[in-house]
Amino acid sequence: MVTKNSVRTATRRWSPLFLGPVVAAFIIGFVWPFLQGIYLSFCNFKTTSNAEFIGLGNYAEAFADASFQHSFWYTAATAVVSLVLINVLAFLIAYMLTQSIKGSNIFRTVFFMPNLIGGIVLGYIWSMIFDGILAAYNTSILLNTTYGFWGLIILMCWQQIGYMMIIYIAGLQAVPEDMLEAAKIDGAGKWQTLIKVVIPNVMPAITICMFLSLTNGFKLFDPNLALTGGLPFIIQPDGSTINTTEMMALNIYNTFYTAGAASRGVAQAKAVLFFILVAGLGLSQLAYTRKREVQQ
């Protein structure tokens, strides 16, 4: 006879078999490299298997690095501006496409499609587009930090608006009809309905979209590499450089691969700081926005 107890015992007995592969893969592919990465940030190393522990020196150097500080502020600016633009535009497009417009399905597909193209490819395509235009004015996106900044913002919007739009559309379609109808009967205008009824109801979608675009903004790497690669640089009097359009991920990559073996530990320390920053920001933002969601 099958009792509740025997099912539970069987589950307990066999669960390692089913969980095992996933847990093992997770440990091998994520937990172990992550822990080793943290360890290496306290080391001086050429290859990862041959590391020498040196304590906090790498962190001190990372904090003192002017190019890393610059990349932090540049990344923060990019993330904030793109967060606002992407979400406002994505919400507007989603709102338009949930009104009954002819061919709204085609529009949804078209807006979503840029998201399917990889960041490197997008970077090169957009660098050609921008330079095609800027060449007429005898300049290039590689020569001007402002162009580099807005170029990247345009690229990010183009890539991510479609994706966020899909999430917003799902949220908008889930707003209960009866609430909208009640608002209408009570004499609410379009604007009031949007602010007082629709937005509180799509707050879960807003939460997830803000979370995604903020972390996307901070973690951005490949479009940054392909579009400007950090150019133009400010050549400082001592000959060192500040790469004016370099975001944090690219700064870490360049420190690891181009600044010589002596800097690999520093790059690792920067990567750990970067993780703490992104994780912290993402979680606190999630917690803050969660509070504002309404329960349906």
Partner 1 sequence: MSKNLSRRTFLGAAGAGMMAVGLAACSSGGGSGSASGSSAASGGAGDGKVYWLNFKPELDEAAQSLAAKYTEETGVPVKVVTAASGTYQQTLIAEMDKSEAPTLFIIGNAAGVKEWGDYAMDLKGTAIEAELTTDAYNLYDAAGKLVSMGYCYECYGIVANPDLIEKAGHKMDEIKDFESLKAVAEDIHARAGELGFDAFVATDMDDSSSWRVTGHLANLEYYYEEQDSGAFDENTSEITGKYLPNYKNIYDLMINNSLVEPTALATGGHDPSTQFTKGEAAFFLTGSWDYAALSEAQPNVQMIPYYCGVEGEDKAGLNCGTENCWAVNANAPEADQQATIDFMVWLVSNADASAALVEQLGILPYKNAAPSTNGFLNNAADYSDKGCYVMDWATNYQPNVDQYRAALVSALNAYNSDQSDANWDAVKTAFVDGWATQWAAANK
How many residues touch partner 1 (CB under 8 A)?
Answer: 39
Over the window 198 to 237, marking each residue x when it contacts partner 1 by CB under 8 A and - when it does not, the resulting string is: ---------------------------xx--xxxxx-xxx
Distances (CA, A) of 280 to 63, 220, 283, 291, 294: 18, 17, 5, 17, 24
Which of 8, 46, 190, 292 is the binder for partner 1 (CB under 8 A)? 46
CA dist., res. 53 & res. 131, Å (int): 47
Name the H helices within the chain. 4-26, 32-40, 57-64, 66-98, 104-112, 119-134, 145-173, 177-185, 190-192, 199-201, 203-219, 222-227, 248-258, 264-290
Which of 19, 135, 174, 194 is the binder for partner 1 (CB under 8 A)? 135
Nearest approach in angstroms of CB 242 to partner 1 is: 10
Which is closer to partner 1, CB of 6 or CB of 146?
Answer: 146
CA dist., res. 86 & res. 88, Å (int): 6
Which is closer to partner 1, CB of 193 or CB of 241?
Answer: 241
The H or E element containing residue 243 is: strand 241-243
CA dist., res. 62 & res. 252, Å (int): 10
Task: Pick the stretch among 24-32, 201-209, 240-248, 267-275 that binds partner 1 (CB under 8 A).
Answer: 240-248
Q: Does 104 bind partner 1 (CB under 8 A)?
A: no
Q: Does 131 bind partner 1 (CB under 8 A)?
A: yes
Q: Does 254 bind partner 1 (CB under 8 A)?
A: yes
| Residues in 256-275 that interact with partner 1 by CB under 8 A | 257-263
CA dist., res. 165 & res. 235, Å (int): 41
Q: Does 143 bind partner 1 (CB under 8 A)?
A: yes
Say if residues 165 and 111 touch (Cβ distance below 8 Å): yes
Q: Which residue has the tokens 């522990």?
A: 53
Which is closer to partner 1, CB of 206 or CB of 250?
Answer: 250
Nearest approach in angstroms of CB 152 to partner 1 is: 13
Nearest approach in angstroms of CB 255 to partner 1 is: 9
Which of 99, 177, 239, 295 is the binder for partner 1 (CB under 8 A)? 239
What are 43's strand-pairing partners?
Answer: 53
Which of 5, 100, 138, 295 is the binder for partner 1 (CB under 8 A)? 138
Which is closer to partner 1, CB of 46 or CB of 290?
Answer: 46
CA dist., res. 43 & res. 271, Å (int): 13
Q: Contact residues for partner 1 (CB under 8 A)? A: 46-49, 120, 124, 127-128, 131, 135, 138-143, 225-226, 229-233, 235-241, 243, 254, 257-263
